[in-house]
Amino acid sequence: MEFHIRCDASEIARYVFVPGDHDRAKKIADHFDNARLVSDSRGYMVYTGTVDGIRMTSMSTGMGGPQVAIGIEELGHMGADTFIRVGSCGTLQDSIQPGDLIIPTGVYRGGATGDRYLPPAFPAAPNWAVLTALVQASRKLGIKAHVGLGWSSDAFYALPEPQFIAKLKQAGVLAVEMEADTLFIVSSFRGFRAGAIFANDGTATEVKPAWAEEAFRRGEEQEIRIAIEAMKSIALADAAAR
């Protein structure tokens, strides 16, 4: 059995959603048929069920790179090879509103966990098939999503230099969050496929304002639908390629 995710390997599906938030892991599992809580250790809430007959797992990683890395490594040991992070984020851009969705094409490696795998010069980019499945799912469902860059950081409450933030803003960085860098780097290293989608809970000037909560929750429900639709299309393509 794995050191931290304590369950039988047969309980884990090949296709896994990896939100940070425990509540969101449950919300995703609520879209599954016959979802079962298969593990609840070290804060990893792990549910497995099916969508249109395809087995899928939803697991909360908690916040930050170290827990993401342990989470997806152990899921990988148990047979998972396709990951979609369904996250929340803030934004650097004035044009992005609370509840807006962002699909990252690459992220700034502000976290340190990925550095233990591959040097910072290695691009933290999603798998192309997962990225395009997410974009196509959003179009199919008629839900608008921004497609662009993100910034993953280890320290929610630290104070980065205003000049540095201004530079990333100029360079078009849309989303700010804490896990995608680790997910993308560990996945590249291990040969897993990974992608991500975020629902924005702030504005360029405000961190998680209370007035934005309702719009964010709508965005969260939309990103879950997009992620599930994308995962389904990836699984169907895998089955057809066999």
Partner 1 sequence: MEFHIRCDPKEIARYAFVPGSHDRARQIAAHLENARLVSTSRGYLVYTGTVEGIRMTVCSTGMGGPSAAIAIEELGHMGVDTFVRVGSCGTYQDYVDCGDVIISTGVFRAGGTANNYLPVAFPAVPNFDLTHAMVEAAGRLGIKVHVGLGSAGDAFYAPRDEAQRKLLAQAGLVAGEMESDTLFVIAALRGWRAGALFACDGTSKATKPESGEAAFHQGEENALRIAIEAMKSIALADAADR
Which spans of this chain sit near partner 1 (rule: CB under 8 A)?
A: 105-110, 118, 120-125, 128, 131-132, 135, 147-149, 167-168, 170-172, 188-189, 191
Max distance between CA atoms of the chain, in angstroms, equals 51
CA–CA separation, 14 and 88 (whole Å): 23
Minimum CB–partner distance for residue 108 and partner 1 (Å): 5
Place of tokens 């069920």: 49
**Looking at beta carbons only, is 119 or 142 nearer to partner 1?**
119
Six-digit token pair at 167? Answer: 């530079």
CB of 13 to partner 1, least distance (A): 23
Nearer to partner 1, 167 or 208 (CB): 167
Both tokens assigned to 8: 């039988």
CB nearer partner 1, residue 99 or residue 110: 110
- For partner 1, the closer of residues 3 and 164 by Cβ is 164
Report d(CA 68, CA 217) in Å as an integer.
23
Least separation in angstroms between residue 116's CB and partner 1 is: 12
Rg (CA), the chain: 17
Distance CA 192, CA 181 (A): 14
What's the closest the beta carbon of residue 125 comes to partner 1, in angstroms?
Answer: 4
For 41, residues 6+ apart whose C-beta sits below 8 A from its C-beta are 4, 5, 6
Smallest gap from Cβ 47 to partner 1, in A, equals: 29
Give the residue with the Cβ less far from partner 1, 90 or 104.
104
Nearest CA-CA partner of 100 in 134, 147, 132: 147
